[in-house]
């Protein structure tokens, strides 16, 4: 090796051998080929809307129609608590990040299987596939933001300095979407059952994310979830009521308590934080910290699992 010529040693050397043990995440390689992620995402977006009658309107329609449904059935004076905000605006500000998460996870989950032709014919960092699915969902998210702006104008609610905190909610949300999406996409190759799992999971997840459609007590503020959960019985409200939350209303009793477990759901925390940032409410930093603490290992674990099994994709897909 030492006697190798200069020109030859300058060439990149690739060693191909069976996989043994743990492998690096390979995010560096993915970064070098970020153009690929971008182009795949852009292809998905363009193809998705190029032959539909409504085109990009679909990106807006999905959360908007959901908002209408929620507003009709759950909003109104006797409906769910919405922190003193108009319910349609309140629920849309929650549906926007939620739709991004849900679409990311479900499209990413099927992405590798859908890219069978690519996977069996050419080498490239495989993680680019689910990553690009999430990137494509970002485009829909940005488009649907227009509706949020329109609603805020309509209700005359202006954003404040807290708007700057929006990325703090979106980064963990995107990491969570990537983590779950990447994991499911890899599992889907080996076990096609996960095609159904992903759809069902996302449906259930909405119910486990009450922040989307109702104001919750921010139990996490000033305490660990476990502590909060145990103190639930003996009127924890008094000590933990956030400053500007509306006083305990009869509606709250009518709906019943939001499942405390939902507070463990990182998406729930991100949604609540996003809305607080956009609509200029006090920011639930503790909840967000908790969400980030959960989402990071999910992201890393999902990518690790994916890397462990990706070499088998071409053989089993």
Instruction: Among 25, 36, 206, 229, indicate the residue that binds another protein (CB under 8 A).
Output: 36
Instruction: Among 50, 78, 239, 247, indicate the residue that binds another protein (CB under 8 A).
Output: 50
Binding part of the chain for another protein, among 34-42, 78-86, 220-228, 292-300 by CB under 8 A, reads 34-42
Torsion angle (degrees, nearest 10) of CA 178, 183, 184, 187: 160
Residue (of 136, 105, 143, 133) closest to 267 by Cα position: 105
- Where in 105-164 is the site for another protein (CB under 8 A)? 117-124
Per-position b or e across 104-124, b if 16+ CB within 10 A of its CB: bbbbbbbbbbbbeebbeeeee
**Residue 261 binding another protein, by CB under 8 A:** no
* For helices 166-190 and 87-114, angle between their N-to-C axes, nearest 10 degrees: 30
Instruction: Among 72, 136, 177, 189, indicate the residue that binds another protein (CB under 8 A).
Output: 189
Could you give the count of Cα atoms lying within 13 Å of 208 in the half-sphere of its Cβ?
14
**Residue 200 binding another protein, by CB under 8 A:** no
Binding part of the chain for another protein, among 42-50, 52-60, 99-107, 154-162 by CB under 8 A, reads 42-50
In angstroms, the Cα distances linking 181 to 15, 63, 170, 277 are: 30, 20, 16, 26
Instruction: Among 31, 72, 192, 289, indicate the residue that binds another protein (CB under 8 A).
Output: 192
**Residue 190 binding another protein, by CB under 8 A:** yes
**Residue 17 binding another protein, by CB under 8 A:** yes
**Residue 51 binding another protein, by CB under 8 A:** yes
- The most distant pair of C-alpha atoms in the chain lies apart, rounded to whole Å, by 83
In whole angstroms, give the CA distance from residue 182 to residue 174. 12
CB 112, min distance to another protein, A: 11
Note the residues at the interface with another protein (CB under 8 A). 1, 4-5, 7-8, 11-19, 33, 35-36, 38-40, 43, 46-47, 50-51, 117-124, 189-193, 311, 314-317
């Amino acid at each position: 090796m030492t006697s190798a010529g200069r020109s030859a040693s300058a060439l990149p050397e690739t060693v191909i051998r069976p996989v043994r043990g743990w492998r690096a995440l390979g995010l560096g390689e993915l970064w070098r080929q970020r153009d690929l992620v971008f182009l795949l995402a852009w292809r998905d977006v363009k193809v998705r809307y190029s032959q539909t009658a409504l085109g990009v309107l679909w990106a807006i329609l999905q959360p908007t129609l959901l908002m209408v449904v929620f507003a009709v059935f759950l909003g109104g004076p006797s409906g769910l608590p919405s922190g003193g905000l108009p319910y349609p605006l309140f629920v849309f500000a929650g549906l926007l990040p939620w739709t991004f998460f849900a679409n990311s996870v479900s499209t990413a989950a099927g992405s590798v299987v859908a890219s069978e032709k690519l996977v069996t014919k050419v080498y490239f960092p495989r993680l680019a596939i689910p990553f690009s699915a999430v990137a494509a969902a970002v485009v829909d998210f940005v488009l649907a933001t227009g509706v949020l702006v329109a609603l805020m104008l309509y209700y005359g609610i202006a954003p404040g300095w807290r708007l700057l905190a929006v990325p703090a909610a979106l980064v963990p949300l995107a990491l969570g979407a990537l983590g779950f999406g990447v994991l499911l996409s890899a599992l889907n190759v080996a076990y096609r059952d996960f095609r159904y799992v992903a759809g069902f999971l996302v449906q259930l997840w909405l119910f486990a994310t009450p922040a989307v459609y109702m104001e919750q007590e921010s139990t996490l503020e000033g305490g660990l979830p476990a502590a909060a959960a145990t103190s639930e019985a003996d009127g924890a409200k008094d000590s933990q009521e956030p400053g500007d939350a509306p006083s305990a209303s009869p509606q709250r009793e009518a709906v019943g308590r939001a499942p405390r477990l939902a507070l463990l759901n990182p998406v729930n925390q991100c949604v609540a934080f996003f809305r607080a940032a956009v609509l200029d409410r006090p920011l639930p930093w503790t909840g967000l910290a908790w969400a980030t603490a959960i989402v990071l290992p999910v992201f890393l674990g999902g990518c690790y699992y994916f890397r462990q099994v990706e070499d088998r994709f071409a053989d089993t897909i």
